[in-house]
Structure 1
Amino acid sequence: MTPSVHSPASLTPILEDLGATADDFIGRRPGHESVIGDGTTARGWAMGELEGLGEKGLALLVLGGEPDEATIASLREAQWPHLHLVAYYRMRAGKTLRRAHGGGAELGACTTGGTLLAFRRASHVLSPDATREKFDANAGGWDDDPKSPSYPHFRWMRRYVATFHTPARAQRVLDFGCGAGWVGIESAQRTGAHLSAFDPSPQMVENARANARANGIADPDMRVGFGEGPPHADEAPFDLVISAGVVSFSPDIELWIDGLAASVAPGGTLVVADLDPLSHGMKKRRRQKALIPIRELNAVTADRMRQALEARGFRFVARSDYQLSWPIPQLMHLNETRMGGILSRPLVWLNAAGSALDGALGGRLGNLFDSWVLAFERPAAGASVPHRD
């Protein structure tokens, strides 16, 4: 994979697509310094070359030819957790083809050939500003569409988490990183609790507030904030806290868990759910797919979460897993694109049956599922916590 001769000027269409200029590569913009490497070095860059990379800078790796996605995936893995692949470009005669998380596009021609991989610092992609901007831009995509073939499936998943070992009644529930608000809404409806919630995205918070009111939730307390410093931290903790699919977006997971733990009142219940990075499906995607959402790389295992919360004094109650790696995603795609939703209900039943079996076995089938859910209790003041099994 020997690359063609390249320089910032030879990559102008790509730099413009990435919002960069040649000046970024010669140190004229402090904090934005970027580097170009090539496939002749083991990791793409010489020892120490990335030390000057700015927090918002680009690390571009140029390869000869058109390596397949699995090869690009292996190069992506070599850079993680320091760098995250945000796009790659095929530089062909007369045009450049972009593949990115936001979609593909055809750009103007570069004066060099090969394939270019564009990385940014993982800390920047996970930063508060980047997170807020991303979710503000995509907030509408998290709202319900009851007419969608996938609606029954996603409705079942959020209800599964919201009702997982939660009390029948609660006074106050906190949706810790609410997104569009659906898990907190399900929980408040089940327990009769007053609903509080927060999210990094102001637009998400507005959507969550509207969704709560539309579903009969009176006076929801919705705020903007991050799990690493929850906006309710100066108030009384909650007797029920639920967080679904949030920790994998955190740039500081231990600090995030501190914020989560502090939000639960003595004697209260905590339910936390997220992706399983060790599931068969997730590991296969990492091997085969060039572009992977950063949360799939940043996700933590259920065991790590359990250990972290037990170390903070919580008592483990139960574990289950949901979203079978196979065949649910594959059949959902077929159901949506070719079958007009005829499999929507059967897929919910299949997923529910698999999760019920896994829950009965204490989570022993976990690697067959793409997501896990854990329930904990915070002992009342003065109560002892038994040692872990």
Structure 2
Amino acid sequence: LLIGLEQPASDAELAGLRNRLWPEFHAVALYSGSDGGVARRTVGSKVKLEAPPAGGQVFAFRRLQEVMSPETTTAKFDQNAKGWDGVPGSPGYAHFRWMRRYVALYGRPSKASRILDFGSGAGWVGIEAAKAFPGCSLFLFDPSPEMVRIAEGNAAAEGIEPCVGRVGFGDQPPFPAPGEAPYDWVISSGVISFAPDGEAWLDGLCKTLAPGGDLCIGDIQLESFGFQKRRRTHPLLPVRELNAQSAAHVRRALEARGFRFLGGSSYQLTFPIPQLMHLNETKLGGVLSRPLLWMNQLGASLSRLFGGSGKGFFDSWVMHFKAPGE
């Protein structure tokens, strides 16, 4: 879908147009003409094209089912895999590892022998969980073969054995395969917002747990003040920001499937902390790394202490459940 505008619109006006077309269509690019030529904006980039001077704007959309198709998701994840692994020694690496450790240990059970990282990315959430139980078996999967390769390599480097990785999607998870046992601890962090069908994804998630097993699930916060501001003012956003599920919705959906809620809270302070972290990593050489990490650690602790209140001040949520059949 291409929408032509004779007169340039503000970013807020374009964001409003995008919001009206969601969820049938997702904005993927904005072309703006001027006396200097044509510029193409996408999420995170702006490129000047080889084109004659022109006026107006063209807003480009794709159908959501195409943007979130398995083929598109796999290609995108393969392309971004290395950037999602974190860079040891970089200004933001301590925060990168803390976030994953926080989720991994949030719903730590008293014992676990079979741990599944449900949508593993680079594997660090599952790795941190497995390190808490020496001798346990770690299983992980991701839509991206490259991500699975990286995750298995990270697990091996951390001494996690055995670690079994497979390629797959949450609505039809590759674990457990026929004849394999389910898992007593399942962790899924930052995955459901990538799912085109959240209900089918939750059905797949629930099938992986052993009776009475522990589930820890987390994702980005739909009600975050920072994300709300971005939806009002940014015409181009990652699809997962618009597709995010609230913690309350996920809780209701899991409880309807027989899961028992054990606790939940928020973490990762919202605007302007992420912007300060980006500035710290790109311009300040890491001088603010420790203070920003301490602020996020304190914020997460306070949110947990007060039962998850103040969710608008945080960009992420996490919850702990017990599977039925205990």
Q: TM-score, normalised by structure 1?
A: 0.81
1:257 aligns with 2:202: yes
Return the offset for 1:351: 0.8
Q: If you compute each CA radius of gyration, which structure gives the higher value, 1 or 2?
A: 1
1:103 to 45, 54, 59: 45
Q: What amino acid sits opposite 2:224 in the alignment?
A: S
Offset, 1:327: 3.5
Task: State the partner residue of 1:237.
Answer: 182
Q: How does 1:71-86 map onto structure 2 within 5 Å? A: 71-86=13-28
Q: Deviations over 1:59-103 (max 9, x none)?
A: 000112221211111111011000000010112235210001262
Find the counterpart in structure 2 of residue 171 from structure 1: 113
SS of residue matched to 1:117: strand
1:136 partner amino acid = D
Give the Cα separation in 2 of the matches to 1:113 and 1:328. 37
1:152 alignment partner, SS class = helix
CA RMSD of the aligned region, Å?
1.4
- Measure the CA separation in 2 of the matches of 1:375 and 1:208: 24
Alignment of 1:20-169 (within 5 A): 59-93=1-35, 95-101=37-43, 103-109=45-51, 113-169=55-111
State whether residues 175 and 242 of structure 1, in contact with CA within 8 Å, keep that contact through their aligned partners in structure 2.
Answer: yes
Report if the CA contact (8 A) 2:114-2:185 is conserved. yes
Give the partner amino acid of 1:198: F
The answer to whether the 8 Å contact 2:37/2:54 transfers is no
Q: 1:326 to 1:91 in 2, by over 3 A?
A: closer
Counterpart position of 2:160? 217
| Partner Cα separation in structure 2 for residue 375 and residue 206 of structure 1 | 28
> Secondary structure at the residue paired with 2:132?
helix
Give the total of aligned pairs. Answer: 323
For 1:217-269, what per-residue CA distance to the aligned partner results, in whole angstroms no more than 9, with x for missing partners? Answer: 11310000000000014332100000000000001110000011111111110
Aligned to 1:194: 137
User: In structure 1, how many angstroms separate the alpha carbons of the residues matched to 2:191 and 2:119?
Assistant: 6
Measure how far apart 1:169 and its partner are: 2.8
Q: TM-score, normalised by structure 2?
A: 0.96
Query: For the residues of structure 2 that align with 1:105 and 1:364, how far apart are their CA atoms?
Result: 42
SS in 1 for 2:111: coil
Most deviating of 333-342 and 211-220:
333-342
Query: Hey, what does 1:185 align to over in structure 2?
Result: 127
Q: Which residue of 2 aligns with 1:298?
A: 243
CA contact (8 A) 1:161 1:244 kept: yes
Query: Quick one: distance in 2 between partners of 1:269 and 1:151?
Result: 28
CA distance in 2, matches of 1:184, 1:374: 16
Cα deviation for residue 111 of structure 1 reads 7.7
- Residue in 1 that maps onto 2:273: 328
CA contact 1:142–1:179 (8 Å) conserved in 2:
yes
Q: Tell which deviates more after alignment, 160-169 or 267-276.
A: 160-169
SS at match of 2:172: coil
Q: CA deviation at 1:376?
A: 0.2
Letter in 2 for 1:346: P
Q: Which runs of 5+ in 2 are unaligned?
A: none
Cα distance in 1 for partners of 2:279, 2:79 equals: 28
Question: Gaps spanning 5+ residues in structure 1: where?
Answer: 1-58, 382-389
Deviations 1:98-119 (A, max 9, x none): 0012622111225852001000
- Structure 1 window deviating more from structure 2 (86-95 vs 151-160): it is 86-95
- Residues 187-207 of structure 1: CA distance to partner in whole angstroms, max 9, x if unpaired? 111123210000000111111
SS at 1:355 equivalent = helix
Return the alpha-carbon distance in structure 2 between the equivalents of residues 263 and 170 of structure 1.
Answer: 14
Cα contact 1:96–1:108 (8 A) shared by 2: yes
CA distance in 1, matches of 2:221, 2:42: 23
The one of 302, 311, 317 equivalent to 2:262 is: 317
CA distance in 2, matches of 1:310, 1:219: 32
Mapped to 2, the partners of 1:75 and 1:205 lie a distance apart of 37
Q: State the AA in 2 paired with 1:118.
A: A
Contact 1:167 1:191 in 2 (8 A): no
* Separation in structure 2 between the aligned mates of residue 194 and residue 349 of structure 1, nearest angstrom: 32
In structure 2, do the counterparts of structure 1 residues 330 and 144 end up closer, same or farther at CA, with 3 Å as the change threshold? Answer: closer
Match of 1:368 among 292, 298, 313: 313
Q: Aligned to 2:40, what secondary structure does the other structure show?
A: strand
Higher relative contact order (CA 8 A, sep 6+): 2
